[in-house]
Copies of this chain bind each other. A is one copy, B any other.
């Protein structure tokens, strides 16, 4: 229970990622040319193309009917940047001053007082548990329409400190190509994220071409209430319905989709069960993991393969070994991706 609340706090956050994607979801690619131009030739690209051919060729023994073509993608660290800290946590910290303006008494109590100083070292020394209060206070208590408007405004204005760009430009161009490629052959692409479902839904359609009903994420409860004018509203409650990380990913997939994916892509130990569940189905299934081994162009962390350890998007050696043993494809950001961001 304690652990799952910590996971919740850790994941109600979000990565940092970029790319100006106006109109991106409209054109789903020209089938005549290479659908994955930002992917270098190699086993990872071959695995994708081979999987698509074997599951969509009606003459193939591994043919998958269109209705069952489900592909699930983790978001943080898989579709957009998650270092040094999940984007959704930046949002929570940025929202705090407005919250304190409305409720001044918060400024006097921890952990709000420390977070308001902006002192990163002092904030880090708090540990995760107290931050749950900040997450809960900034993500709940308002109706879902107000929350959506607040996130929409923030995501348009906020900038990642390293690239000085909106977080929605820090998405990986090879993954955008992959999403479009899969959709062009009849796969429905889903996000299955530890991040907050309502948060990701605000921009997923514009940025990834993924509509709200195809975003599965950690979800708090909402309660149906009547506003002062008598209109019904859905108010976000500090109650966790689905902790969509680790075992929660296949559990969330069952709850929200009700079908086992044929394709799953993740980047951390939080994706392990989703990939196991995907591979355990019959016929052709492709499980992929992104290894962040490119500190120059993005970030390098593991600790798999001797990469630096991290608490954000941990990719352990045990996960790496399971991938190799069970035929999952590990994608090297450094070697498999020709280009990382569209703005490069």
Contacts and interface: CB of A to CB of B under 8 A. Distances in A.
A186 to B, nearest CB: 14
A212 B276 CA distance: 21
B211 A255 contact: no
Contact of A224 (B205, B224, B234, B247): B247
Nearest to A225: B247
Interface string A220-262: 0111100000011010000001100001001100111111000
A201 interface: yes
A259 B212 contact: yes
Taking the full assembly, how many copies of this chain does it contain? 2
B259 A213 contact: yes
A48 interface: no
A201 B234 contact: no
B258 A215 contact: yes
Interface residues of A, number: 33
B250 A280 contact: no
A207 interface: no
Contacts of A215: 258
Interface in A299-322: none
Nearest to A234: B254
Contacts of A232: 250, 273, 276-277, 280
Contact of A213 (B234, B251, B258, B280): B258
Interface of A: 67, 144, 197-198, 201, 205, 211-213, 215, 219, 221-224, 231-232, 234, 241-242, 247, 250-251, 254-259, 273, 276-277, 280
